[in-house]
Amino acid sequence: MNKKGLIILTAGLLCIAAALGLFVHNALASRHAEESSQKITEELEKKISEENSGAENAFPTDNPYREMPTVTVEGLSYIGILSVPESDLTLPVLASFDYDSLQETPCLYSGSIYRKNMVIGAHNYDSHFGRISSLSQGSRVIFTDTENHRYDCEVVSMETLKPDQNDELTKKFGNDWDISLFTCNYSGSARIVVRCRITGQG
Which tens digits make up the pLDDT trace of 170-181? Answer: 999 888 999 999
Q: What is the pLDDT of residue 27?
A: 54
Task: Give tens-digit pLDDT for 27-41.
Answer: 555 665 678 788 999
pLDDT band at 23 (very low <50, low <70, confident <90, very high): very low
Pairwise CA distance, residues 115 & 97, whole Å: 18
pLDDT band at 151 (very low <50, low <70, confident <90, very high): very high
Q: Which of the residue ranges 22-26, 58-62, 71-75, 135-139 would you say has the lowest mean pLDDT?
A: 22-26
Pairwise CA distance, residues 68 & 57, whole Å: 14
| Average pLDDT value over all residues in the chain | 84
Q: Is the pLDDT of residue 10 over 60?
A: no
Q: What is the pLDDT of residue 60?
A: 67
| 131 in Cβ contact with 72 (< 8 Å) | no
Closest CA to 29 of 121, 103, 130: 103
Sequence spans of domains, the chain: 32-201
Q: How far is CA 110 from the centre of its chain?
A: 12
pLDDT band at 64 (very low <50, low <70, confident <90, very high): confident
Pairwise CA distance, residues 107 & 40, whole Å: 13
Q: Where are the beta strands (DSSP E) in the chain?
A: 71-73, 76-84, 89-94, 107-110, 118-121, 140-145, 150-161, 179-184, 191-201
Q: What is the pLDDT of residue 20?
A: 46
Q: Which pTM was predicted?
A: 0.81
* CATH architecture under which domain 32-201 falls: Beta Barrel (2.40)
| 70 in Cβ contact with 77 (< 8 Å) | yes
Average pLDDT over residues 138-162: 96
Q: Is the dihedral of CA 202, 192, 111, 64 positive or negative?
A: negative
